[in-house]
Amino acid sequence: MVKRTSFEHDDCPIARSLDAIGDWWSMLIIREALFGISRFSEFQKRLGLAKNILTVRLRALVDQGILKTAPASDGSAYQEYLLTLKGRGVFPILVALRQWSEEFDEHPEEIATILVDKEKGKPVRKLELYSQDGRLLSAGDTALKPRAVVKQGGRLTA
C-alpha cells in the first residue's frame, strides 16, 4: 500500500464514518457490544478473531470514543468495554446492514435471526427516511447540498 488511504479528514461524512468503523471487525464488535458483550475474552470467543487484532480494534474504538473501558462491574478484577453514546449511535447502521441482507441476499434461508420489537415480539419495519414535512423519501427524492460555511474572512465557502 505505501500508506493505506485514510478518510479521516475527507469532506464526505460517509467516508468519515467508514474510516472510523468501516471494517468488518469494528462493526461486529459494536454489534456484540449492543448485545451486552463487554469482556475481551467474550468478544474473542464469539467473533473468533485473533487476539492481537481484537486488541488493536478495541483500542481504536476506545480512542475514537465509541467504547470506553470501565474498571469492572461483575466483581472480577478485570476491565470491561462499554459502548458510549456515540457507540450506541451505530445501531441504525447495523439495522440498515441487516435489512439489506434480509431484502437482497440470495440465500436468506441462511440468516438465523430476525430483529423484533421487544414489546410485541414482531419483526420491525424497514428503516424509513422522511423529509421535514413528513414525506417518505427514497434515494431519488434526495439531493446533496453544499454546506454553507462562514469562514474567518467572512467569505462564503462550500
Partner DNA sequence: CAATCTAGTTTAATAATGCAACCATAGGGG
Partner DNA sequence: CCCCTATGGTTGCATTATTAAACTAGATTG
Binding site for DNA (CB under 7 A): 1-5, 23-25, 39-42, 48-53, 55-56, 58, 76-80
Q: How far is the CB of 85 from a second copy (least distance, A)?
A: 8
Displacement of CA 118 from its chain's centroid (Å): 21
Contact positions with a second copy (CB under 8 A) in 7-46: 7, 9, 11-19, 22-24, 27-28, 31, 34-35
The answer to whether 25 and 49 are in contact (CB under 8 A) is yes
Give the residue with the Cβ less far from DNA, 34 or 49: 49
End-to-end CA distance of the chain: 31
CA distances, 114 to each of 29, 89, 132 (Å): 19, 20, 30
Count of residues in contact with a second copy, rule CB under 8 A: 84
CA distance 41 to 43: 5
Residue 123 interacts with a second copy (CB under 8 A)?
Answer: yes
Q: Among 66, 70, 65, which residue's Cα sits nearest to residue 81?
A: 70
From residue 64 to residue 83, the character string flagging contacts with a second copy as x (rule: CB under 8 A) and all else as - is -x------------------
Q: Phi/psi of residue 157, each to 5°?
A: -125, 165
Give the residue with the Cβ less far from DNA, 3 or 120: 3
CA distance 66 to 84: 5
Give the residue with the Cβ less far from a second copy, 77 or 158: 158
Report residue 141 as a C-alpha cell. 427524492
Q: Which does 79 bind (CB under 5 to 8 A by kind): DNA, a second copy, none?
A: DNA
Give the residue with the Cβ less far from a second copy, 4 or 71: 4
